[in-house]
Structure 1
């Protein structure tokens, strides 16, 4: 029962310890809020100064000194310092607390000074509408999403008004001015204690409600930041298109859900990597693999491709699967040509460094595929299934027999031409090839760089 009440009031609990990067993201949001609060405070002190300058001054020359200009000047200096500190560095808790108390102290001091400015009894300031600014200062603290400062602002305001009420009651004719007649209260300087207690209660209730809102909102903020960070992390482990499908799915993604698409499948393979991984130190192998992927992956993505998975030294990419297009084969061919140039440049760079040049093979096929989620509820994976996927992988092995760096089906090549692809490489048709594991003969195209 207690847990239900707690969840109803405060919202859902935050699961586990937040990662440091999530805490840092929240801290950044709070720092930005402090800068906004500082500017609002600066605006408010300007408003107070303008209103004071425009208001009529009724006190005589021999009256007590006018305290308002000194208070406003001091608060302006404090606000400027606070604004500068908020922009340049993180504000500590004690400085923030001091700022909250300074806000309320200024407001209560301005209200207190009204009876001096207008030469009236202290009970005069109890009817000042300036008290409404209390709610502005309290709500201003809600921008930070930290309930402590909202509570501090509300309690400071309630305490401040209690002190002003006590001063009005015990000064001058205050005790004699206490009344229970509401009409007399509104038409004179008499004090209606019930009305003043209502103000204090209103301040405390508004503070309590805002505190609840802040607690609930901060939990939502934390969960939102955590989800946004998780989505950003997903884009590192999945392609951006797949990460977006996961994070923006309207419903719970179930295994076995998929769509039939027309797509091109690209298979990239680092030739001789298995032998190399056995002969070279592990760190050298990983460095080579990272350099190879860093050169190839951006080209695939730049041409509209999606990385389906990394297969050791192999890369399986799709065009038109994750994001449906009508130029998937053309995009795939453009990527292949660009990767051929990149492979040549990489080989020259390695030779200039006295390193062994690496050969990368590219094979492609196109046709109808099934794109969707596979696995079970505890472990899902978006992938592509279909004959073009198998054919692209089998062509990788067959490319050795053809002594080809870039090999694809004639169907895919003709499809790319129909989709607007303009070749910059030479092509050679090798018809009726017997590809291992494929039923029937396949017409292939070998791409080579133009002379």
Structure 2
């Protein structure tokens, strides 16, 4: 191949890798956005239910203190407030759902402000001057709206709600402040010097309106909105970090055992995998006669068979709290108690072995019914002290266990063909799991000598 062709091929390879990396990054970004969007939708749903609770509580309170028939007037506002929450809730999956929600936030603020500032009709028994609507503490009801927006994990909605309150409430206050019959400090100050007695007398007039409470409301609302926005922003960052961690964990779990991925993401790569010695139960499993079986299968069918075996086996290992140490062609090695100490590691391993045997038997019957060759597994289990940690070089490490226990478990799996059993377990493992609870599941026991070992070992055999 010429130099130009080599450069073109190399460039093509670089482009292909770049595109794959870009696709993976975009996929992770899409996943992150999708999970964030889902959290916002769940927050919107929770906020709607919180609104319903607030409507019920406030309505009950108003009906208890407001005389008939004026309570019907405020009941109408409560129903309108419910509708303004229900409509965007029903449209939350709409493509323009966010714009719709922002629009309804403005309507929320306008409705609550109107309920506070607009007096009921005379027919409902209210004859107080409109200026007195600014004397009460009802403005606090408006601050419930930013609190509701904070439940949706959206800082933008909190800010939008706070700004809407500042603008709409100010319009309402100045509308009343501009009424011809409103008394103001400026009107009196133009005629006489304001004394404490004059200020007190003026403040007690029903039509008096001062701007100091409005200033206080503006400052309090701005600070409340700012603090809520910062709180939601931090909560959203925490949510994003959790989603990113889940993405990393899910990606890692495709290449390592899920519990290893979980430990890596929680403890950090620099603190995980330091060599340590602990008691671990090791399980080896293998498809009996796979080499002969693969001779009759095409490569793609062999691949499908292995993948199906691995999927079924791994699901059972993970179900019992085991760690998939590695795949070994048509078999695998699993450990129990390698990442964190498990007092019942041996019992978990034995339960895993017997369930794996039952699952392969069910699968084999199904295969036989479909005209395929039956399958049988061989399983060896042993426990004892091992060294647990990371092995490898700078570029690649592998979390694994090392020790004589691993070799014995591997030999026990191999010896199943010779002694006619499907599961061979050491006496040490039976003792650790609870001899009285497990010994009845084995059909025989004997002492055997394993290849490469001088001392014999007592094993229990299940066919």
- TM-score interval, normalised by the smaller of the two chains: 0.7 to 0.9
TM-score by length of 2: 0.76
TM-score by length of 1: 0.78
Matched with 1:308 is 325
**2:360/2:377 contact within 8 Å kept:** yes
Matched, 1:128 2:145: no
The alpha carbon displacement at 1:111 in A equals 2.1
Q: 1:218 aligns with which of 221, 236, 240?
A: 236
Q: 2:217 aligns with which of 191, 195, 199?
A: 199
Matched with 1:440 is 454
Matched with 1:169 is 177
Matched with 1:25 is 35
Matched with 1:35 is 45
The alpha carbon displacement at 1:423 in A equals 3.3
Aligned length in residues:
424
Structure 2 Cα separation of the partners of residues 68 and 414 of structure 1? 74
Give SS of 1:423's match: helix
The alpha carbon displacement at 1:234 in A equals 4.8
Give SS of 1:191's match: coil
**1:258/1:371 contact within 8 Å kept:** yes
Unaligned residue ranges in structure 1 (runs of 5+): 1-15, 61-65
The alpha carbon displacement at 1:353 in A equals 1.8
Q: 1:431 aligns with which of 444, 448, 456?
A: 448
The alpha carbon displacement at 1:128 in A equals 2.8
The alpha carbon displacement at 1:105 in A equals 0.8
Structure 2 Cα separation of the partners of residues 221 and 416 of structure 1? 41
Structure 2 Cα separation of the partners of residues 72 and 411 of structure 1? 72
The alpha carbon displacement at 1:316 in A equals 0.4
Which segment drifts farther, 77-86 or 125-134? 77-86
Structure 1 Cα separation of the partners of residues 184 and 428 of structure 2? 102
**1:372/1:382 contact within 8 Å kept:** yes
Matched with 1:318 is 335
Structure 2 Cα separation of the partners of residues 115 and 409 of structure 1? 86
**1:337/1:425 contact within 8 Å kept:** no
Unaligned residue ranges in structure 2 (runs of 5+): 1-24
1:39-438 paired onto structure 2 within 5 Å: 39-47=49-57, 49-50=59-60, 53-55=63-65, 70-82=76-88, 92-114=97-119, 118-174=126-182, 178=186, 183=200, 186-188=203-205, 189-231=207-249, 234=252, 237-249=255-267, 253-254=270-271, 257-273=274-290, 280-303=297-320, 305-375=322-392, 379-397=396-414, 399=416, 405-409=422-426, 412=429, 418=435, 420-427=437-444, 429=446, 431-433=448-450, 435=451, 438=452
Matched with 1:7 is none
Structure 2 Cα separation of the partners of residues 112 and 99 of structure 1? 20
